[in-house]
Structure 1
Amino acid sequence: MKSLLLTLGLGLMAALRAQTLPVWDEETQDASGTWYMKAAAADEEIPWKKLESVSVTPMTIKTLAGGHLELLSSRMGGQCREISTVLEKTDEPGKYTAHGGKRVVHILKSQVDGHYILSIEGEMHGQQIRMAKLVGRDPEVNPEALKDFEKVAAARGLNTQSIFIPKQREACSPGSD
């Protein structure tokens, strides 16, 4: 009986390790530059998915001292404004915290070159969220990267029916409409 339990336990550990996804390696890869959000998925319906005219602007990532990352983007909400989020590096490779530790962000490497998946868990507007975003270096949607993203979203327990592909647009200037 003990050997059966040991065998099952080791088998379960091996299966869980096999599902581990490769993470972004900040030692050998440079995240700095322009990135485009190509798709998003959540554990529930994404509220803004219902808006047909939703578009996103490119984001700029800067590498800061200590391996932290700064994400800069512009958003429309009646008026254009710049949003800055700092991802604070943790001791775990590919794992960052944001908003004073309220959110945990894992940067996962896609199987398609030039693409990464940001897996986000934590609090947003008083509610717990789990979502993922596919980002890439160019604005065009890559079908292979999208297929890989769908697999990762499903493996992380996200609703693959909620996958949303936003329209791309140029960055707006703060203060403009």
Structure 2
Amino acid sequence: MKALLLAVGLGLVAALRTSDTGDLDVSGQWYLKAIVADKDCKRKTEALTPINITALEGGDLEVRVGMLVDGQCQEVKVDLEMMDEPGKYSAFGGRRKVDLQKMRAADHYAFFCEGELGDEQVRMGKLVGKDPEINPEALEEFRKVAEGRGFNPKRIVFPKQIETCTPGKN
């Protein structure tokens, strides 16, 4: 379960650090709007709190998000290490890589992560934004980009948003 939580959190942070135009101030609150994966996860994330991002020294980031998984609330904290190439991050000793793409819609990013999730290699794409509402333009672009990267757009899911999730409670 920890691997699933870390995979979701890892991708969220990476999406919020850089763009084609350079560094951004991404500290604050973000929402995960859509997820696509090439495989089914063993444990299902039922709902997510807003994602809180903190910029760390040296360009690294910390992400914190609450998740309701199998009826239990979990808080996940993931540190992302900025790589040499803009928009690229790694975590967990390089076992997970994340690639960021800025969407045309304001305050939206698509990001794609790949690497180990438990005992499997998994690829995921995620759409995040500053507003909790789905932006149709951002969603359509995300669908096209994900399909261009080999994902089946019929596998896109929309996570439920919740305001709070206290670890150890449901």
- Global fold match (TM > 0.5): yes
Partner of 2:153, secondary structure, is strand
- The CA deviation at 1:153 is 0.3
Partner of 1:112, secondary structure, is coil
TM-score (ref. length: structure 1): 0.78
Partner of 1:13: none
Percent identity (aligned): 47
Q: Which runs of 5+ in 2 are unaligned?
A: 1-17
Encode CA deviations 1:108-138: one digit per residue, 9 max, x unaligned: 1011111011210100011001110100001
Distance in 1, matches of 2:83 and 2:30, equals 22
Partner of 1:168: 161
- The CA deviation at 1:166 is 1.4
Is the 1:44–1:159 contact (alpha carbons within 8 Å) kept by the matching residues of 2?
A: no
Q: Which runs of 4+ in 1 moved over 3 A?
A: 25-28, 44-49
Is the 1:44–1:162 contact (alpha carbons within 8 Å) kept by the matching residues of 2?
A: no
Distance in 2, matches of 1:158 and 1:60, equals 27
Per mean C-alpha deviation after superposition, the further-off stretch among 132-141 and 72-81 is 72-81
Size of the aligned set, in residue pairs, is 152
Q: For the pair shown, which has the larger CA radius of gyration, 1 or 2?
A: 1
User: Does residue 1:75 correspond to 2:70, yes or no?
Assistant: no
Equivalent runs, 1:6-155 vs 2, <5 Å: 24=19, 27-45=22-40, 54-77=46-69, 78-155=71-148
Question: AA paired with 1:131?
Answer: M
TM-score (ref. length: structure 2): 0.81
Partner of 1:6: none
Question: AA paired with 2:94?
Answer: G
Distance in 2, matches of 1:33 and 1:45, equals 30
